[in-house]
Amino acid sequence: MGLAKYNGKVDLVTVIHTVHEFKDLARFLEQVQILLRKGGRMLVVEPRGHVTFNQFAAASKYCRQMGFCHVEPTAPMAANE
């Protein structure tokens, strides 16, 4: 991706509406792993209706096979917190 100077320095990679587009998802995920610092995270968002639940589940499973782990979202804070 041309981001070698950031290897091991990235806290968060956001992947919005694109995971289903990668022809070589494994290569992309390998590059993300290289970029992320220890404890870094990747957020994947896919459009409901464009990507089926089963497609998203398959991509999620593949991410786990590549060494990523699922983190449950936390409840949003109330406006008065």
Please give the mean pLDDT across all residues of the chain: 87
pLDDT at 4 over 60: yes
Contact 8, 34 (CB under 8 A): yes
Of the pLDDT bands very low, low, confident and very high (cuts 50, 70, 90), residue 8 is very high
pTM of the model: 0.77
Buried b (16+ CB within 10 A) or exposed e, 33-60: bebbeeeeebebebeeeebeeeebeebe
Question: What is the residue extent of each domain of the chain?
Answer: 4-65
